Structure 1
Amino acid sequence: MRNKRFFPYLILILLVPAAGEFQFYPLPVDFRVSFATPILLLLLLYFKDVHAPLSGLLTGISVVLTRIGLGVFGGEDLAPMITLHLPVLGYYVTYGVLFHFIPIKNYSRRPLFIGLFACLLEVASSGVELTARALVLNLSVTSGLVLTVLFVAVIRSFFVMGFYMMILYHDLQTKEKAQRKKNDNILLVISDLYVELIQLKKSIQTSERTTSESYFLSKQLQEQGNNEMSKRLLQIAGRIHECKKDGQRIYASLSSLINRQEFKEWISVSEIIDLVVRANKSYASFLKKNISFEVEIKGRPVKFHSYFLLSILNNLISNSVEAIEESGRIKITADHAVKEGRMTFSIKDNGRGIEPKYHDVIFSPGFTTKYNASGNPSNGIGLSYIKSVIEAHQGTIWLMRSVPHTATEFTIDIPVTLKIEEDAS
């Protein structure tokens, strides 16, 4: 913890003197202008927890010692070097003290105010240094000298303001990218929940039908005099009914979560495909696979229910990523056939493919060609889930073709009028 607290001060006492050696002399006296002050200001703004007066003192001592050391190393006498450079300490101490008392950090998101405050700090600090030089070196402070100091302060302040604006822009871009990634991940999670929600609704409906059939069968058995069997069947119907109630509560909670308004419910096809491609590029990178993605969108711009289409495309494209062994390509095509009022999606890859003998059963629950490192099969519900979700929305899915390591292509066909909102543009 102590090392972390000391680190900003170490950066200050190393970088500022180094930046100070890039200088020029605008005056006919030993009054230099360098990049030390802009670097000092930027570091004080960046390290929000440093004590500014202490930073100014340590930086000033470091700058003075650096300049004296360089002078002595260059053959100059020590005493004149101390006299010449000691007034600089007043500059940095004044800068640190004023930075501490002026609320400059309150305007960290307003570059113009940063530039104005920087100008004020530099003029005041330069005034202290010039006064010290006037006392030590008998320097005559003229109006021309003061105007030059003001001019240099303005120029360096605009430099600081411009550089600080670039830092703010980079920071904004970084935060925007992180937020977009977070939103993408949440949308993908919700799209997976959406698929589960459809399956849960189907299970609830099945439970309701089973409960009803069990109840009527129980009544028939009772009428036939088989009271014991009727009673047992009625108990089973009651337990199924309880399961249905539990399912309804879960369904209501998931529906409430999915229908929250933080995210757009309807998203354009291009946005959805872009999101899925970004996610699966990361997935391919995680699996250490070199996969290129190609996207082709035809027809008029349309919008889909985001969770519905995300869940379908993400499952199919992730299957393609897994099917490619080391490197390959995946092509996603979206085609809006206006006359037929339908949208067709095609996902094609050059992975290991599907053997012809499995073509008729790939959408069956439990079928799988995936095995983990221990040789255990996956649950085989992926394609069957996708098929049931698409059919629930009056759509169809089929395997167009599969030639191992050449082309495996799935095609989805969905009615536009039922599940798509057209873009007014």
Structure 2
Amino acid sequence: MIINVALLVSITGLLFTYPFDGYFRFTISVVVLATLLLYFKRLPIVRIAVLSGALVLLLRVVLKYPFIDDTLFSAFMHNLPSFGYYLSYGLLFKVLKIRDHTSSIPALILLLSLCDITSNCVELIIRWELTDRSLETILIPLVAVGVCRALLAVVGYYSLKRYRDFVLAEDYAARYAELILIIAKLRAELFYLKKSSADIELVMEKSYTLSQTLNKACPGELAQLDSPAPRALEIAREIHEVKKDYYRVTRGIEEILDVAVSDEGLPVSEFFQIVEQNTRRYISSLDKPITITFNYNGELITDKYYNIVSILNNLIINAIEAALPTGVITVTGQCRDGNLVLVVADNGPGIAPEETELIFAPGYSTKFSEVTGQMSTGLGLSHVKNLTEGLGGEIKLTSQQGKTVFTILLPLANL
């Protein structure tokens, strides 16, 4: 990093102008040097300034010497005072603690100007170019250039800072969107883990009750290890161990969600955009020319956004899978008649009338993997129905050849 900065400064130091007769020159390299020293606060100030000055001196001698009628030593001595400028600039930059004044633009401009003007004076003294000129003739261009270069350095610093903030904001937004989608999926999985835990608890109770019933029917049977009663009791114990594992998993996920989830509400329009971005990324990964449009109107803010994201994701994925090779999907949302109305429509082959009730049953599916032949779990629409009813809403389906529409009605009072 240090070498790269010094090289950049030294290369820009080759762009210069002569304000007076002699070897003294103004360059834009100091603007680059000041900007980078301000922005990269871990850069060693004096070391960067010394290395930059040394490289500027080397480049000027090497590039100019072949084209002048002079000795190498003379060319070196003519450019040596420029090294004094960079050394003086680095020392003043550190002594004045210019990095501590980045929050105040006027102070920053003043200190950078003072640093530049003083360093130019040091170089002029080394060159003995102050003896035969009036102070006014020298100071006016020095002050003007010093202030201009300070202004450019401040503009460069704040431009880099603003660009960094912009990049960080975009990265934060992307991570935030990803977090919402991940948590929505975790909540869906947690729902089924809790459902399975309840089922396991019921089976365990039935197995334990069976062992007690068998023992009552045949007193003393529990003492006989191979008889049905102790075997039923052993099954109940094993199921109890499985139940404890499920409990640990569900508690772990709940603790993660408690840490990650904020109780503050989120505008529906915001997480609608998150769902749209995620969906477009998913579609772009498929070899399927699908056109999808999103539209939301309303000012609703809700803390139930993970449930709504899960509902939309499941319906949209189903629509994508059902869409024709040139599928068209529309996703809309609006607040109307006391409800948040979500509509997902596609131009797929439609759903047969006899299947419209079955598709919401857990495990029912007509989809399977073309690679493995394995059937889909059939839990997506069942989960949508459970989430919708959990929010006090209802789900409607209308379907015919070439058009399927899912409509979700969620009472605003529950959101």
Kept after mapping to 1: 8 A contact 2:39/2:157: no
Q: Please, which of 188, 199, 211 is the counterpart of residue 195 of structure 1? A: 188
**Cα shift at 1:154:** 1.6
Identify which range, 171-180 or 280-289, moves more after superposition: 280-289
From the superposition, tell whether residues 390 and 377 of structure 1 become closer, same or farther in structure 2 (CA, over 3 Å): same
Identify which range, 276-285 or 108-117, moves more after superposition: 108-117
Kept after mapping to 2: 8 A contact 1:402/1:409: no
Kept after mapping to 2: 8 A contact 1:290/1:327: yes
- Indicate the residue corresponding to 2:127 in structure 1: 133
- Indicate the residue corresponding to 1:12 in structure 2: 6
Deviations 1:90-137 (A, max 9, x none): 1122223444555444556665554344223312311211111226x8
Q: Please, which of 152, 158, 171 is the counterpart of residue 151 of structure 2? A: 158
Paired AA for residue 348 in structure 1: A
**Cα shift at 1:160:** 0.9
**Cα shift at 1:225:** 3.8
- Indicate the residue corresponding to 2:413 in structure 1: 417
Q: Distance in 2 between matches of 1:254 and 1:333?
A: 31
**Cα shift at 1:170:** 0.9
Q: Please give the residue correspondences for 1:70-109 in structure 2 after superposition, counting only pairs within 5 Å.
A: 71=64, 76-78=68-70, 84-100=78-94, 102-105=96-99
Kept after mapping to 2: 8 A contact 1:112/1:161: no
Q: Please, which of 393, 396, 419 is the counterpart of residue 394 of structure 2? A: 396
**Cα shift at 1:309:** 1.3
Q: Distance in 1 between matches of 2:134 and 2:63?
A: 27
From the superposition, tell whether residues 372 and 11 of structure 1 become closer, same or farther in structure 2 (CA, over 3 Å): farther
Q: Distance in 2 between matches of 1:298 and 1:349?
A: 20
Q: Distance in 1 between matches of 2:47 and 2:301?
A: 61
Gaps in structure 1 of 5+ consecutive residues: 1-6, 421-425
- Indicate the residue corresponding to 1:347 in structure 2: 344
- Indicate the residue corresponding to 1:3 in structure 2: none
Paired AA for residue 112 in structure 2: A
Q: Following TM superposition, where does structure 1 have runs of at least 4 consecutive aligned residues deviating by more than 6 angstroms? A: none
Kept after mapping to 2: 8 A contact 1:264/1:306: no
**Cα shift at 1:86:** 3.3
Gaps in structure 2 of 5+ consecutive residues: 222-226
Instruction: Tell me the SS of whatever aligns to 1:182.
Output: helix
Deviations 1:189-222 (A, max 9, x none): 1111111222222223333344444455554444
**Cα shift at 1:81:** 5.4
From the superposition, tell whether residues 69 and 180 of structure 1 become closer, same or farther in structure 2 (CA, over 3 Å): same
**Cα shift at 1:275:** 1.3
From the superposition, tell whether residues 416 and 219 of structure 1 become closer, same or farther in structure 2 (CA, over 3 Å): farther
**Cα shift at 1:237:** 3.6
Instruction: Tell me the SS of whatever aligns to 1:165.
Output: helix
**Cα shift at 1:363:** 3.5
Q: Distance in 2 between matches of 1:118 and 1:324?
A: 63
Q: Distance in 2 between matches of 1:112 and 1:327?
A: 60
Instruction: Tell me the SS of whatever aligns to 2:133.
Output: coil
Q: Distance in 2 between matches of 1:300 and 1:37?
A: 51
Q: Please give the residue correspondences for 1:53-72 in structure 2 after superposition, counting only pairs within 5 Å.
A: 53-68=46-61, 71=64
- 2:109 equivalent to 1:115: yes
Paired AA for residue 77 in structure 1: D
Query: How big is the alpha-carbon RMSD for the aligned residues of Structure 1 and Structure 2?
Result: 3.6
From the superposition, tell whether residues 249 and 61 of structure 1 become closer, same or farther in structure 2 (CA, over 3 Å): closer
- Indicate the residue corresponding to 2:224 in structure 1: none
Identify which range, 394-403 or 154-163, moves more after superposition: 394-403
Q: Distance in 2 between matches of 1:187 and 1:299?
A: 21
- Indicate the residue corresponding to 2:365 in structure 1: 367
From the superposition, tell whether residues 328 and 304 of structure 1 become closer, same or farther in structure 2 (CA, over 3 Å): farther
Q: TM-score, normalization: structure 2?
A: 0.81
Kept after mapping to 2: 8 A contact 1:111/1:165: no
**Cα shift at 1:397:** 3.2
Kept after mapping to 1: 8 A contact 2:183/2:257: yes
From the superposition, tell whether residues 317 and 70 of structure 1 become closer, same or farther in structure 2 (CA, over 3 Å): same
**Cα shift at 1:415:** 3.0
- Indicate the residue corresponding to 1:169 in structure 2: 162
Kept after mapping to 1: 8 A contact 2:50/2:90: yes
Q: Distance in 1 between matches of 2:302 and 2:163?
A: 32
Q: Distance in 1 between matches of 2:321 and 2:96?
A: 58
Identity, in percent, stands at 29
Instruction: Tell me the SS of whatever aligns to 1:271.
Output: helix
Q: Distance in 2 between matches of 1:105 and 1:372?
A: 62
Deviations 1:369-410 (A, max 9, x none): 242545544444333333333334443335432645xx4433
Q: Distance in 2 between matches of 1:299 and 1:179?
A: 25
Kept after mapping to 1: 8 A contact 2:39/2:160: no
- Indicate the residue corresponding to 1:296 in structure 2: 295
Q: Distance in 2 between matches of 1:96 and 1:327?
A: 64
Q: Please give the residue correspondences for 1:316-327 in structure 2 after superposition, counting only pairs within 5 Å.
A: 316-322=315-321
Paired AA for residue 344 in structure 2: I
**Cα shift at 1:333:** 0.9
Kept after mapping to 2: 8 A contact 1:368/1:379: no
Deviations 1:123-162 (A, max 9, x none): 2311211111226x85536144234322321221111111
Paired AA for residue 391 in structure 1: E
Residue-pair matches, total: 405
Q: Distance in 2 between matches of 1:140 and 1:85?
A: 21
From the superposition, tell whether residues 50 and 207 of structure 1 become closer, same or farther in structure 2 (CA, over 3 Å): closer
- Indicate the residue corresponding to 1:336 in structure 2: 335
Instruction: Tell me the SS of whatever aligns to 1:78.
Output: coil
Deviations 1:236-275 (A, max 9, x none): 3444344334433433332232223653453222122111
Instruction: Tell me the SS of whatever aligns to 2:6.
Output: helix
Paired AA for residue 9 in structure 1: I
